[in-house]
């Protein structure tokens, strides 16, 4: 479920009552009895929201609309500060504003941890740049130590979550040390009262101080470090372009720090060196447009689309009892709507990050390119999370193929790594293996089609030519198959309440047309109950 909806479900702030009522109306369908009821419900929500005072409180307004991940606070005061800095002080300004942003979002403790982590990684990378050229030492000791630092801190943060404080201590900290907490946790009481979901253990103080910030942005940071070490190994980053200041600016650039797009070290420093020259009113106007577009996507998603989709899906027992959903099309399309909901959230975030960069004169790499227009899985992964896909291609897939690995196996390993980088769970590894296998089949099919095009005298080539003349029908069929494969694979990792309930949906999607086909031949089959 969307993090926003989870937060909204447990919120107790009076200011959220209007939005919660509006969400419930969307989910139940009362708001859609007719267009007049829909408009009345929406205007009532806006009026209650405005008169409640939530908008006047910028902190609660942040939580209400943008949860704890959006960069509005960075855009307002800190981005203005960066615009006023001269070129020679820009990197220092990025470091300072990035740490301030991190302090606001993740609490006062985490910037110290992040800064120490960055310094350790820089020292290890410099040692690696020396040892990688030698053959008489263990060259991979520095990157191994870097991985151990990330894994070790993750384990330590998990252990710290077991620490409990007494009720009076929690009350005193909640009242006097709010600045220590992450943004999304500052308005809630601790341990004795607060739990994310009914029936689960309340969240501990150290869980909010260390673990929650740790999981936000650590994957992006790890991927950046992997790219940085790889480029040092390839000797594409000369010593003159490496310094602690440049490295810290690369790691603390706030717009792309939490969820990307994933920048590479050389491109980042090139853009920083030229951003003042690229800064003009046209770029700034375009940047403001992208920010507005991203915020509009996110606002539409959390106010209208996500509550409707997730309310419809989860209330209908989509994962727990898919056999009770009568409409096969509803069964098939629901998962696509969930993936599109994820797209709105993620691409909206990327739009905000890109827009903030453009205001500064910094051109952030595009991260999405209308993935819903893809007519093959290969094309889809060139359009979805583009920066991450390039990292996987350049540092996993291509090196494996060059070392003689089978292409199919290399694809499955690459996507398995992709799954692990999203979540350390077996279901994500399984998703990666499934997706890698489907991409391999897609590539083999495309290669066979190109072979047929080069052999016009074959009977299958003639069939293909006649089929392709029926445009746009072939392209529509390819698009339909691609979207269903891409979104259907997500059922391996998407579920309601944990476990592998997504497999029940997969089984039901496969069972119904199979049973209908067998019934044509007089065979009654209901499948496995």
- Annotate 12-53 with DSSP letters as a single string: --GGGHHHHHHHHHHHHTGGGSSHHHHHHHHHHHHHHHHHHT
Is residue 99 located within the same domain as residue 60? no
Q: Considering the chain, what percentage of its residues have pLDDT values greater than 70?
A: 73
Question: 357 by DSSP, 3-state: which?
Answer: helix
Residue 254 has pLDDT above 70, yes or no: yes
Residue 18 has pLDDT above 70, yes or no: no
343 within some domain: no
* Residue 475, domain extent: 373-498
pLDDT at 79: 73
Distance, CA of 32 to CA of 27 (rounded, Å) = 10
Assess contact for 387 and 262: CB atoms under 8 A: yes
pLDDT at 476: 92
Banded model confidence at residue 200, pLDDT cuts 50, 70, 90: very low
Assess contact for 382 and 217: CB atoms under 8 A: no
Is residue 82 located within the same domain as residue 56? no
Where among 37, 67, 97 does a domain terminate? 67
Assess contact for 432 and 420: CB atoms under 8 A: yes
Assess contact for 378 and 339: CB atoms under 8 A: no
* 100-139 exposure pattern, b = at least 16 Cβ within 10 A, e = fewer: bbbbbbbbebbbebbbebbeebbebbbebbebbeeeeeeb
**Selection from 64-78, 326-340, 426-440, 491-505 with the highest mean pLDDT:** 426-440
**Tens-digit pLDDT profile for residues 373-407:** 888 998 999 898 888 888 888 888 888 888 888 88
Q: Which value, to the nearest 10 degrees, does the dihedral of the CA atoms of residues 12, 352, 343, 432 take?
A: -100
Assess contact for 366 and 386: CB atoms under 8 A: yes
Residue 308: CB partners within 8 Å, gap ≥ 6? 26, 27
308 within some domain: no
Question: 303 by DSSP, 3-state: which?
Answer: helix
Is residue 63 located within the same domain as residue 79? no
Distance, CA of 265 to CA of 254 (rounded, Å) = 15
Is residue 25 located within the same domain as residue 94? no
Distance, CA of 227 to CA of 215 (rounded, Å) = 19
Banded model confidence at residue 71, pLDDT cuts 50, 70, 90: low
Is residue 120 located within the same domain as residue 248? yes
Is residue 110 located within the same domain as residue 47? no
E strands present in 4-163: none
Check residue 29 and give left, alpha or beta (phi > 0: left; psi -120 to 50: alpha). Answer: left
Residues 432-459: what's their mean pLDDT? 87
Compute the Cα dihedral for 361, 367, 372, 373 and give only its sign: positive
Q: How many residues does the chain have?
A: 529
Nearest to 20 by CA among 47, 49, 40, 43: 49
Is residue 265 located within the same domain as residue 393? no
Q: What angle do CA 389, 494, 32 make, to 5 degrees?
A: 110
Residue 487 has pLDDT above 80, yes or no: yes
Where among 67, 84, 103 does a domain terminate? 67
HEC profile for 410-445? Answer: HHHHHHHHHHHHHCCCHHHHHHHHHHHHHHHHHHHH
103 within some domain: yes
Residue 39: CB partners within 8 Å, gap ≥ 6? none
Check residue 252 and give left, alpha or beta (phi > 0: left; psi -120 to 50: alpha). Answer: alpha
Assess contact for 476 and 468: CB atoms under 8 A: no
Largest CA distance in the chain: 85
Instruction: Quote the number of domains for the chain.
Output: 3
Distance, CA of 513 to CA of 11 (rounded, Å) = 43
Q: How many helices (H) and strands (E) does the chain have?
A: 26, 0
Angle (deg, nearest 10), helices 244-252 and 265-278: 80
Residue pointed to by tokens 């950046």 = 224
Is residue 44 located within the same domain as residue 114? no
Q: What is the mean pLDDT of the chain?
A: 75
Residue 335: CB partners within 8 Å, gap ≥ 6? 487, 488, 490, 491, 494, 505
Is residue 13 located within the same domain as residue 147? no
360 within some domain: no
**Selection from 113-117, 135-139, 201-205 with the highest mean pLDDT:** 113-117
418 within some domain: yes
111 within some domain: yes
329 within some domain: no
Per the structure block, which two tokens stand in for 74?
């960075």
Residue 121 has pLDDT above 60, yes or no: yes
Check residue 317 and give left, alpha or beta (phi > 0: left; psi -120 to 50: alpha). Answer: left
Per the structure block, which two tokens stand in for 420?
């692990």
How far from the centroid of its chain's Cα atoms is residue 134's Cα?
Answer: 39
pLDDT at 109: 79
pLDDT at 62: 42
Question: 300 by DSSP, 3-state: which?
Answer: helix
Residues 356-364: what's their mean pLDDT? 85
Distance, CA of 479 to CA of 509 (rounded, Å) = 19
- The model's pTM: 0.77
Distance, CA of 232 to CA of 132 (rounded, Å) = 9
Residue pointed to by tokens 């801190």 = 153
Where among 242, 273, 304 does a domain terminate? 273
- For residue 369, report the phi and psi dihedrals to the nearest 5 degrees: -140, 65
For residue 261, say if its preceding peptide bond is cis, omega within 30 degrees of 0.
Answer: yes
Is residue 26 located within the same domain as residue 132? no
Distance, CA of 331 to CA of 322 (rounded, Å) = 7
Is residue 119 located within the same domain as residue 263? yes
Is residue 136 located within the same domain as residue 185? yes
227 within some domain: yes
pLDDT at 525: 63
HEC profile for 47-61? Answer: HHHHHHCCCCCHHHH
């Amino acid at each position: 479920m969307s993090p926003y909806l989870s937060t909204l479900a447990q919120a107790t702030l009076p200011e959220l009552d209007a939005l919660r009522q509006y969400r419930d109306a969307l989910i139940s369908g009362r708001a859609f009895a007719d267009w007049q009821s829909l408009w009345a419900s929406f205007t009532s929500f806006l009026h209650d929201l405005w008169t409640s005072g939530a908008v006047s409180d910028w902190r609660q307004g942040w939580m209400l609309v943008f949860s704890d991940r959006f960069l509005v606070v960075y855009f307002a005061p800190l981005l203005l500060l960066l615009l006023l800095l001269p070129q020679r002080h820009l990197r220092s300004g990025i470091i300072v504003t990035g740490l301030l942003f991190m302090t606001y979002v993740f609490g006062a403790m985490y910037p110290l941890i992040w800064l120490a982590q960055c310094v350790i990684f820089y020292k290890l990378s410099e040692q690696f740049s020396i040892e990688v050229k030698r053959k008489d030492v263990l060259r991979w000791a520095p990157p191994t130590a870097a991985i151990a630092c990330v894994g070790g801190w993750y384990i330590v943060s998990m252990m710290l979550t077991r620490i409990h404080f007494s009720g009076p201590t929690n009350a005193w900290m909640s009242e006097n040390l709010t600045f220590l907490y992450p943004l999304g946790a500052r308005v809630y009481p601790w341990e004795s009262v607060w739990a994310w979901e009914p029936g689960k253990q309340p969240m501990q103080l150290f869980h909010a101080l260390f673990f929650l910030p740790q999981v936000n942005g650590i994957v992006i940071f790890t991927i950046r470090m992997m790219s940085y070490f790889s480029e040092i190994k390839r000797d594409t980053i000369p010593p003159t372009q490496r310094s602690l200041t440049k490295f810290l600016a690369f790691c603390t650039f706030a717009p792309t720090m939490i969820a990307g797009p994933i920048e590479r070290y050389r491109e980042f420093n090139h853009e920083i060196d030229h951003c003042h020259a690229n800064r003009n009113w046209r770029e700034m106007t375009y940047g403001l447009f992208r920010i507005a577009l991203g915020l509009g996507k996110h606002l539409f998603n959390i106010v209208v689309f996500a509550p409707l989709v997730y309310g419809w899906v989860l209330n209908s027992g989509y994962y727990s009892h898919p056999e009770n959903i009568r409409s096969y099309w509803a069964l098939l399309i629901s998962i696509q709507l969930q993936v599109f909901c994820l797209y709105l959230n993620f691409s909206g975030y990327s739009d905000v990050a890109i827009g903030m960069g453009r205001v500064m004169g910094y051109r952030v790499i595009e991260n999405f390119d209308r993935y819903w227009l893809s007519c093959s899985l290969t094309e889809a992964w060139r359009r979805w999370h583009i920066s991450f896909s390039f990292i996987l291609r350049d540092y996993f897939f291509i090196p494996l193929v060059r070392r003689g690995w089978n292409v199919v196996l290399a694809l499955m390993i690459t996507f398995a790594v992709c799954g692990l980088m999203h979540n350390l769970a077996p279901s994500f590894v399984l998703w990666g293996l499934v997706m890698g296998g489907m991409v391999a089949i897609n590539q083999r099919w495309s290669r066979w089609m190109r072979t047929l095009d080069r052999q016009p005298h074959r009977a299958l080539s003639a069939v293909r030519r006649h089929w392709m003349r029926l445009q746009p029908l072939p392209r529509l069929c390819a698009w339909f198959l691609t979207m269903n494969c891409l979104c259907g694979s997500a059922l391996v990792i998407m579920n309601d309440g944990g476990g592998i309930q997504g497999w029940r949906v997969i089984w039901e999607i496969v069972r119904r047309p199979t049973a209908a086909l067998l019934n044509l031949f007089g065979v009654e089959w209901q499948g496995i109950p």
